[in-house]
Amino acid sequence: MNEPVLQTEALSKHYGGGKKPVLALDQLSLTADRGEIFGFLGPNGAGKTTTIKLLLDLIRPDSGHARLFGLDVNQHSVEIRRRVGYLPGELALWNGQTAAHVIAYFGKLRGGLDARFVGELQQRLEFDPGKKIREYSSGNKRKLGLILALMHKPELLILDEPTSGLDPLVQQTFLQLMREARAAGQTVFLSSHMLSEVQAICDRVGILRAGKLEEVKRVSDLMNQDYRVVTLRLREPASNGLFSSLPSVTGLEVNGHQATFRLQGDFNPLLDALRGVYIEDIGVAEPSLEDIFLTYYGDHPTNGVVPTAQKQLRQEVAS
């Protein structure tokens, strides 16, 4: 049996000592296999970056273990980092140095570079390495970060919000690079709240909330949920009362003559409840990953509502 490339067991981390330590990660156990793209989803503060820093041995867990390539991340830290490419959420580098110098320096620290491959990455990401770091926009810094993470063809890529700040064309290039990495047998562990990119490339996703892993599923399974998103346009103004007797309706949003909700199970109870109501239009859609994602953080019937977190998440999803 193949050993997972990435494995955590009951990994926990608190921040801040004293009387009120904050629990950033709570008993996280997950695995990622060779050649897999694993998406790590969650709103800000959910524990995504903490997990990544633990995997890279930048911070140490209070309890639990993390292993990459079967090796303990603390005991074999240097060996592991040789085989990992990392893109932080916010890339900071020495402002007075040129990108070309930073690439060369990091290449030396990694024991050498494939200059042709680096040139190819620069070309595909449309990146000019001749400028000083301070002269780059945030999008260009992101491109540099991707080059630094990819340039040594690592077995495992750990990417924290990789497409944040990239323009749509470069995002497409990034997605293509990730598909090529997977085809080459590389594993990708990426954190994101860009659901479209997760839906486009990830094989599995882990959904994190307040430091706890809520769910790990294949994207295809997650998409195959037992509900549909229904939008009705009525002649008369819609009201919540129309749907109050239907337990199969959740996430109801009423806006004037329009009502949008999730419908579980059959349509018949809905049609019965709407008997006598004039319906101008009906739209039925499979749930997007965004809809599914929101059920984990928002008004999911079983997990309670955290209004501020839900609001923040909706803003992030919208952005």
Partner 1 sequence: MTGKIFVETLRRNWRIMLYWGIGMGLYGVMITVAVLDDKSLQQIMQVIETMPSFIIQGFMGGADIEFMSSADGYFAIKFFSMALLIYSLYAVTAGLAVTANDEDAGIMDVFLSMPVPRWAVMLERALAFAVMMIGVLALTYLGVLIGSMFVPQVSYDLVHIGVTFANIYPSMIFVLSMTVLFGVLFRRRSVALGVTAAVVAGSYFLDFVASGAPDSFLGTLGYLSYFRFNDGVRVMQFGLEPLNIGLLVAVAVLLLALALWRFQKRDIGL
Q: Which residues bind partner 1 (CB under 8 A)?
A: 15, 53, 56, 58-60, 77-79, 81-82, 84, 86, 88, 90-94, 97, 105-106, 108-111, 145, 148
Least distance (Å) between residue 174 CB and partner 1: 18
> Is residue 89 a contact partner of residue 177, using CB atoms and an 8 Å limit?
no
Which residues 6+ apart lie within 8 Å of 224 measured at CB?
none
Least distance (Å) between residue 71 CB and partner 1: 13
Least distance (Å) between residue 70 CB and partner 1: 17
* 71-72 and 63-68 strand pairing: antiparallel
Least distance (Å) between residue 12 CB and partner 1: 14
* 37-41 and 204-209 strand pairing: parallel
Which C-beta is closer to partner 1: that of 108 or that of 311? 108
Least distance (Å) between residue 103 CB and partner 1: 12
Which C-beta is closer to partner 1: that of 97 or that of 173? 97
Which residues 6+ apart lie within 8 Å of 267 measured at CB?
none
Return d(Cα 28, Cα 39) in angstroms, integer: 15
Which C-beta is closer to partner 1: that of 15 or that of 267? 15
Which C-beta is closer to partner 1: that of 153 or that of 235? 153
First to last CA, the chain: 42
Return d(Cα 157, Cα 149) in angstroms, integer: 7
Least distance (Å) between residue 105 CB and partner 1: 6
Phi, psi at 156, each rounded to 5°: -130, 130
Least distance (Å) between residue 82 CB and partner 1: 4
CA distances (Å), 152 to each of 48, 86, 118, in order? 24, 11, 9
Least distance (Å) between residue 150 CB and partner 1: 13
Which C-beta is closer to partner 1: that of 78 or that of 169? 78
Directed axis angle between helix 289-297 and helix 307-318, to 10°? 160
Which C-beta is closer to partner 1: that of 17 or that of 304? 17
Angle at 45 between CA 219 and CA 199, to 5 degrees: 15
Which C-beta is closer to partner 1: that of 111 or that of 307? 111
The pair of structure tokens assigned to 209 is 């909330």
Beta-bridge mates of residue 259: 232, 254
CB count within 10 Å of CB 232 equals: 22
Which residues 6+ apart lie within 8 Å of 88 measured at CB?
145, 160
Which C-beta is closer to partner 1: that of 47 or that of 251? 47
N residues, the chain: 319
